A and B are shown apart, each in its own frame.
Chain A
Amino acid sequence: MFDDFNLIQNLINALQWGSFYALIALGYTMVYGVLVLINFAHGDVFMVGAYIAFFVASFVLSVLGLPGWAAFIITIPATMILTSMVGVSLERIAYRPLRRKGAHRLYVVITALMCGLILEHANLAIFGASRKAFPPLIEEHVYHLGGVTFTNLKIIVICAAIMSFLTLQWIVTKTKVGMAMRAISYDKFAVPLMGIPIDQIIVTTFILGSGFAGLAGVLFAMSYPILEPYMGALIGWKAFIAAVVGGIGDIRGAFLGGFLLGAVEILVVAFFPSSYRDLIAFSVLLVILSLKPTGLFGIAKTTKI
């Protein structure tokens, strides 16, 4: 079994696979940091992102008749913007009114779960169960380098994830809104004192989180060009778990957790039948959480009495 195991090859695969988790986990973690809300609809926002990408790309390719690279360049920002609008609408329509009423936060969580179900099944009802084939945007080149095979697409995915992370790191350390986002996760009450309305911070959080989910949607659709309404559910749950393993609320944690989960899954598939992937991946996560209950970057909260 070790004969055909190639470390670098698997590493590249793991990075690419983990990129999706990382990008989605970012959204979970940011919303959690700011609102202490598990936004269970986030996986479905990713799915919506992939569908938006599908429609934008098809439109640009067939209606405008532009070439693939142009479609690629248009699709990415367009999808990110449209997906963030979806995310923000969720927050405005469903979460904010509940928050205003001071409802128990678990009710907000349930509402998020329900929003996810609606996104999935509305999609199913509107577009039917048939899968959509995503049009190829850029020509896929396969490179061989000393026994390692990789494609330009994989490189794009990995680079996009890393760039997103750096951008986000810059936002939360250098911009005022970003710093407020971080501050809010430490102290709920101090932030209004900083002169930024709390709703503005929350909306920014949803824009960023959903935007990255949209980006993940485009890249995922390009890498695995078959779309179906349930594609967001499992990957979303897993990204959430990745965020928690990293220490939810922490951006580095989400990123690391995403790549860790990607690596675990790729390794499992390299050695076991692929049907064991979920089983082993989840068991590893369970073990990590049992050993380090607040995740890799999470700070254990001490109870003072």
Chain B
Amino acid sequence: MTQQFGGLTAVSDFNVRLKNNRIAGLIGPNGAGKTTVFNLVSGFYQPTRGTISVCGKPTAGLKPHKVTALGVARTFQNIRLWNQMSVLDNIKVAQHGWLDYGFFQSVMRTRAYRDCEERIDREAKDLLEIFELENYANDYPTNLPYGLQRKLEIVRALSEKPKLLLLDEPAAGLNSKDMRELIRLVRWINETYDLCIWIIDHHMDVMMELCSEIKVIDFGQTIAEGTPDEVRNDPAVITAYLGDDNI
């Protein structure tokens, strides 16, 4: 697929097949177009050319919330939680795609409404408990430590029951302790849930440890792909990261 903004080709001829239960990585220098790839996959942009399918279903023309319903959930490079809403509500509102009721039922408080609210409440609380956030359930996200905000964003994405989880620089700004925690968390999610994870990050150690395959892009072009070790030793990658004159 290809994405252009005006004259700028942010991503060109990008091709990828992600396999289930695997962790894939996407790296590249700043401005390479990594986030753009995620934006395309999550339906925030429509590709200028090319197609995207999730579990065999094409996402062309779908609004992002529909793409999410197909099974793509993501986090953001800059944390985008709803900051005037409790942690619990952050999870609950992310269940909009799984509501069994609409406006009239919410006003009439029908059986369907009550069952659905109850289910969402229970699931959200369970999820917070699994990820040890239950003590913060009624706090506002801004009052959480930074590392937990990152974690909450991942939990919120996970609460969408995705088949593909996109993590955009989850380790950005974390200290090394939080980073170890993150690696453990992602591993655990990968082992526990039946989904595929795709990570963007600049921390090579994180990527090396987690990913089974990595793709490298620069100026929108795919310049290398393969296992972490292959990628690490690829001359094109070294050039992209360090600049030409180092060779």
- A-B interaction: yes
* Residues in chain A within 8 A of chain B (CB atoms): 302, 305
User: Which residues in B have their C-beta under 8 angstroms from that of A302?
Assistant: 5
Report Cα–Cα, A305/B35, bound state, in Å.
8
Q: Can you name 8 A-B pairs with beta carbons within 8 Å?
A: A302-B5, A305-B35, A305-B39, A305-B44, A305-B76, A305-B77, A305-B78, A305-B80
Question: Which 8 A-B residue pairs are closest in the complex by CB-CB distance?
Answer: A305-B76, A305-B39, A305-B44, A305-B35, A305-B77, A305-B80, A302-B5, A305-B78
Report Cα–Cα, A305/B44, bound state, in Å.
9
Report Cα–Cα, A305/B74, bound state, in Å.
11
Nearest-Cβ distance from residue A301 to partner chain B, whole angstroms = 13
User: Which residues in A have their C-beta under 8 angstroms from that of B78?
Assistant: 305
Find residues 1-56 in chain B having any chain A CB closer than 8 Å to their own CB: 5, 35, 39, 44
Nearest-Cβ distance from residue A5 to partner chain B, whole angstroms = 43
Report Cα–Cα, A49/B44, bound state, in Å.
49
Nearest-Cβ distance from residue B225 to partner chain A, whole angstroms = 25
In the complex, residue of chain A having the shortest beta-carbon distance to the beta carbon of B39: A305
Interface size on B, residues (CB 8 A): 8
In the complex, residue of chain B having the shortest beta-carbon distance to the beta carbon of A304: B35
Report Cα–Cα, A180/B78, bound state, in Å.
30
Nearest-Cβ distance from residue B47 to partner chain A, whole angstroms = 16
- Excluding A305-B44, A305-B77, 4 further A-B contacts by CB distance (< 8 Å) are A305-B35, A305-B39, A305-B78, A305-B80
Report Cα–Cα, A302/B10, bound state, in Å.
15
Nearest-Cβ distance from residue A199 to partner chain B, whole angstroms = 30
Nearest-Cβ distance from residue A248 to partner chain B, whole angstroms = 23
Nearest-Cβ distance from residue A262 to partner chain B, whole angstroms = 34
Report Cα–Cα, A305/B200, bound state, in Å.
14
User: Which residues in B have their C-beta under 8 angstroms from that of A305?
Assistant: 35, 39, 44, 76-78, 80
User: Which residues in A have their C-beta under 8 angstroms from that of B44?
Assistant: 305
User: Which residues in A have their C-beta under 8 angstroms from that of B77?
Assistant: 305
User: Which residues in A have their C-beta under 8 angstroms from that of B39?
Assistant: 305
Report Cα–Cα, A302/B39, bound state, in Å.
13
Nearest-Cβ distance from residue B102 to partner chain A, whole angstroms = 27
Find residues 38-88 in chain B having any chain A CB closer than 8 Å to their own CB: 39, 44, 76-78, 80
In the complex, residue of chain A having the shortest beta-carbon distance to the beta carbon of B5: A302
User: Which residues in A have their C-beta under 8 angstroms from that of B76?
Assistant: 305
Report Cα–Cα, A297/B5, bound state, in Å.
19
Report Cα–Cα, A250/B2, bound state, in Å.
34
Report Cα–Cα, A302/B80, bound state, in Å.
17
Report Cα–Cα, A305/B38, bound state, in Å.
10
Report Cα–Cα, A302/B5, bound state, in Å.
10
Report Cα–Cα, A305/B168, bound state, in Å.
10
Report Cα–Cα, A302/B44, bound state, in Å.
12
Find residues 160-179 in chain B having any chain A CB closer than 8 Å to their own CB: none
Nearest-Cβ distance from residue A303 to partner chain B, whole angstroms = 9
User: Which residues in A have their C-beta under 8 angstroms from that of B5?
Assistant: 302
Nearest-Cβ distance from residue A177 to partner chain B, whole angstroms = 33
In the complex, residue of chain B having the shortest beta-carbon distance to the beta carbon of A302: B5
Report Cα–Cα, A305/B76, bound state, in Å.
7
In the complex, residue of chain B having the shortest beta-carbon distance to the beta carbon of A303: B44
User: Which residues in A have their C-beta under 8 angstroms from that of B80?
Assistant: 305
In the complex, residue of chain A having the shortest beta-carbon distance to the beta carbon of B78: A305
Find residues 188-243 in chain B having any chain A CB closer than 8 Å to their own CB: none
Report Cα–Cα, A195/B77, bound state, in Å.
34
Report Cα–Cα, A14/B7, bound state, in Å.
39
Nearest-Cβ distance from residue B171 to partner chain A, whole angstroms = 18
Nearest-Cβ distance from residue B207 to partner chain A, whole angstroms = 21
Nearest-Cβ distance from residue B64 to partner chain A, whole angstroms = 10
Nearest-Cβ distance from residue B79 to partner chain A, whole angstroms = 11
Report Cα–Cα, A302/B77, bound state, in Å.
17
Report Cα–Cα, A305/B77, bound state, in Å.
7
Report Cα–Cα, A302/B8, bound state, in Å.
14
Nearest-Cβ distance from residue A148 to partner chain B, whole angstroms = 45
